Chains A and B, each alone.
Chain A
């Protein structure tokens, strides 16, 4: 028990490390996804831009949403935001803190995807190959090609096997140019993201440390309270079920005793704990009846039956009768020996 508490405390106080771990795993998954993805530029004039920019921007959006979905705290945030105020005021700064920390972590995998894509260069090459400056890099005065034809030829730049515009502009020159632009954009993007992260992290202690400590404490508190409430309810449900089932067995055994008109059989005083746990059911027929009754007629969820007159011959602590007492005997007789 102590060990569990220690692990719990370790993760609680290192909840940030735990979340950071998930964040790191998602970033690695993002690079793996990119390398496993088979990029296939269509090499057609208008399709290239759509495909290239789509691969650049749609997976990051998916990864961002996934980052929120995988974060357990999102339901906690939503609950705290939407609950009625009741006797406990709502603190908006706590909600803002929770949302910001979740959003920051969810942004990492998309940023990794965009950086890897830009540094690799295939997407930008595919998307912007028709915008290559042919005048400076190639031979713009090449005769006999209309604007549309030139666009079609340029669109084939990423597909080296079918490229037929070597006189217009050399394939390697165009690819090197586009790749250079793409890598420059990639490094600038990474620098921008890192600078933003650095500023966000380092300006906080300078300006709002006290508010930050407060928000952090109460967000941990809300999380802890929710977990403890769930634990307490689970314990309660366990005890409820245990008492309900005990009452069911006792009721069963009492009914049968009443139906057979036997004296209740008391376990011999030296039979021990095991005999007590039999709860008065000591033979195959009775057990079968108990099991059948459990399936066909589950007891109500009520551990406090209202006090009834005790004239019908059974002990008042058993299950409430579902039928009035006379038919009860017939029912019991029907069930017996089956």
Chain B
């Protein structure tokens, strides 16, 4: 029992850890999605670029939106932003803090996808094989323009019969892959340096405001969770009272209509309470029918 309460409280107070966990899971899902996706370049002149760049940029948008959807705090932030001010002022710094932390977490999975795509190289090879300068490669030097385009478009398809033993095509492939991997590592390096600087230099600027913003965003989050729990508890008690009232009113109705002498029972008092005055088949059937046909009003005063 205590353990349950502890786990419950842990999750309540550490929604940041939960959010980080979801963020990590999405990043892993992103890698898994990439490895299980069967990349198949069309190897046709206009289609290559669209396909390659599409695979590089559309899934990150999807992952970003997923990151926003799965993050509970985004709803909390939107509510706080749109609520009428009423008797509680709105603090824009808190909203900005929440927004930036949500965005940072949502950006992780898309960045992982883009970096993995670049390091693997297939997307860039597919997208830019038609844009390579054919003069640089021996096998394409003496071929007409249209033929060159067709051949270059087929470079990503290694199994094509034209490409199988063609050394120039392999050269183009290696060249593009090298660019792709260089780009991938550079992006990774820049992002890590940026994250490092941001984290190191943050305490130098506005630390007090930051502490306040973090405290109040945590507060808003917990307040909302506790409100939902209290509503659930309240609806449970309300339902309980309503049902007791219903049984009581059925008991009154039966007393009014029956002509039986009052029973001098010797049954245990506990059972008597639980029977609530409903003691035969017809009465039970009437109770169940009334529950369906005439639900009691939502009023337990």
Contact = CB atoms under 8 A, between A and B. Distances in A.
Contacts of A176: 40-44, 157
Nearest to A183: B40
B135 interface: no
B263 interface: yes
A302 interface: yes
A236 interface: yes
Main secondary structure of the interface of A (DSSP, over half): helix
Nearest to B160: A172
Given A87-B294, A121-B38, A184-B54, A302 B62 contact: no
A83 B157 contact: no
A205 interface: yes
A197 B69 CA distance: 8
B260 A13 contact: no
A9 B295 CA distance: 25
Interface string A4-48: 001101101100000000000000000000000000000000000
Interface residues of A, number: 64
Contacts of B298: 88
A205 B82 contact: yes
A243 interface: yes
Contact of B1 (A6, A137, A187, A201): A6
A86 interface: yes
Contacts of B276: 236
A303 B40 contact: no
A228 interface: yes
Nearest to B298: A88
B66 A194 contact: yes
Contacts of B54: 184, 187
Interface in B237-277: 238-240, 242-243, 247, 260-261, 263, 265-267, 271, 274-276
Nearest to A228: B239
A177 B48 CA distance: 10
Given A2-B1, A86-B295, A201 B159 contact: no
A240 B275 contact: yes
Nearest to B50: A184
B4 A6 contact: yes
A206 B55 CA distance: 33
A13 B280 contact: no
B279 A86 contact: no
A302 B281 contact: yes
Interface of B: 1, 4-5, 8, 37-38, 40-44, 47, 50-51, 54-55, 58-59, 61-62, 65-66, 68-69, 74-75, 78-79, 81-83, 157, 159-160, 228-229, 231-233, 235-236, 238-240, 242-243, 247, 260-261, 263, 265-267, 271, 274-276, 278-281, 284, 288, 291-298
14 contacts: A10-B8, A86-B295, A87-B297, A88-B297, A120-B38, A172-B160, A173-B44, A187-B59, A205-B81, A205-B82, A221-B238, A235-B274, A239-B271, A302-B281
Interface of A: 2-3, 6-7, 9-10, 12-13, 79, 83-84, 86-88, 119-121, 137, 172-173, 176-177, 179-180, 183-184, 187-188, 190-191, 194-195, 197-198, 201-202, 205-206, 209, 217, 220-221, 224-225, 228-229, 232-233, 235-236, 238-240, 242-243, 246, 300-304, 306-307, 317
